[in-house]
Structure 1
Amino acid sequence: MSHLFAADANLVRQAVDAGADLETRDDRGRTPLLVAVTEDRVEIAEILVKAGADPNALDGRHDTPWLVTGVTGSVPMAKVLLAAKPDLTITNRFGGVSLIPASERGHVEYVRLVATSGIDVDHVNDLGWTALLEAVILGDGGQRHQDVVRALVAAGASVDLADKEGVTPLAHARSKGQTAVARILQDAGAH
């Protein structure tokens, strides 16, 4: 296995300096950058990005380094990859952009950063859900998810964009007993 997959930044730097193939793959189709992102090894990701590693390289699960930042919620890693100009429209195996899993998981600071990066805050995944719907439907209505909803609303997310069954985020919040989330949505003009 290439030293590009090492957990030691010095070994990775040596491999890069020696001309190692930045897009080499492990047995799961992951590039060294995707592994570094998954393990939140920011210094290693910086080395790889500066050397030209592809933030859009798809693995066998249809993940990319950029998409994985939405799962991990690592703001430092997101900043490293945003500097590499990732394709914000690439979707995961569920048809979602990075903002959707981040919203579901309550990654507040990540959502605040990425929602203003030019990403489509109203992107609809294969389930028919936006980041806002994911935050309500799969969130717990607690402070983190309230803050995610606020961040999405502040970034211009459509508060009335319904799911495939025509149920709005406000209706979902009410049915789940998420009073605070419902109030945020109402204050934003949701119906």
Structure 2
Amino acid sequence: MVAAIVTLAFPVQGQEMNELHSAAAGNDVAAITSLLAAGAEIDARNADGETALLVATRANNIDAARVLIEAGADVNAKDRINDSPYLFAGARGHLEILGMTLAHGADLRSTNRYGGTALIPAAERGHIETVRALIEAGTDLDHINDLNWTALLEAIILGDGGARHTAIVQLLVDAGANVNLTDGDGIPPLAHARSRGYSEIEKILLAAGAR
């Protein structure tokens, strides 16, 4: 019964699907174009629930991603662990693919398996330009994930306090992130920054009215 449900949730399409996913993994634009012209299902899933576009995105295969997106691939199609091309590109800092997903209907409200938007892991991992792009696109600055952390909290708690994370904190604060939203234990960003000795981040937060 479980297997039947999974098959219905993630339909697969035999050889055509395998070839399209392989072409995406190999960044083979000519093969992708040929397969789509022959009628391959653009959003067919592999055993992990990935579309060809998600396979291309994981490999940061920009050319393959471009041809798939321009042909109408779903930038929000999630796999079994709730990754989508949009969410994965944001989390991993694949900036060019992220830009394409944003231009082709990325759902800014979609969340990953931790209940976070693309902005939260981008902030945590120090992807400055990705954070900037997601802010400019209108991503919710104060979304709280399942760990009770915002992008600002993750940049501090899981960041290293260095130049990249400091710049990200500045970007978030300048964009209007709430500097006093606490974690699940009631601890605010300022206290986290102080406890870690992140003096530059502390200055940014204080200047923005952090308590």
When the two structures are superposed, what TM-score results if normalisation uses the length of structure 1? Answer: 0.96
Q: Which amino acid aligns with 1:58?
A: K
Q: Which residue of 1 aligns with 2:67?
A: 47
Q: Which residue of 2 aligns with 1:92?
A: 112
CA offsets per residue over residues 59-94 of structure 1, 9 Å max, x none? 011111111012211111111111111111111110
The number of aligned residues is 191
What's the offset of the Cα at 1:98?
A: 0.4
Superposition RMSD in Å: 1.0
Q: Percent identity among equivalent residues?
A: 48
Whole-angstrom distance in 2 between the partners of 1:50 and 1:4: 16
Whole-angstrom distance in 1 between the partners of 2:186 and 2:127: 26
* Native 8 Å contact 1:4 1:11 kept in 2: no
Highest Rg: 1 or 2? Answer: 2
Which residue, 53, 58, 64 being the options, matches 2:78? 58
Q: Which residue of 2 aligns with 1:5?
A: 22
CA offsets per residue over residues 103-133 of structure 1, 9 Å max, x none? 0000001001111211111100001000000
* Native 8 Å contact 2:21 2:55 kept in 1: no
Asked if 1:34 corresponds to 2:54, the answer is: yes
Q: Which amino acid aligns with 2:19?
A: S
Structure 2 portions without partners, runs of 5+: 1-17
CA offsets per residue over residues 22-66 of structure 1, 9 Å max, x none? 111112110001111111111111111111111111101111111
Q: Which residue of 1 aligns with 2:165?
A: 145
Structure 1 portions without partners, runs of 5+: none
Corresponding residue SS for 1:77: helix
Whole-angstrom distance in 1 between the partners of 2:161 and 2:106: 31
Whole-angstrom distance in 2 between the partners of 1:19 and 1:190: 56
Whole-angstrom distance in 1 between the partners of 2:176 and 2:37: 43
Which residue, 100, 104, 111 being the options, matches 2:124? 104
* Native 8 Å contact 1:4 1:20 kept in 2: no
Which residue, 165, 184, 194 being the options, matches 1:164? 184
Query: Going by fraction, where is helix more abundant, 1 or 2?
Result: 2
Asked if 1:190 corresponds to 2:210, the answer is: yes
What's the offset of the Cα at 1:155?
A: 1.7
Q: Which amino acid aligns with 1:5?
A: S
* Native 8 Å contact 1:57 1:65 kept in 2: yes
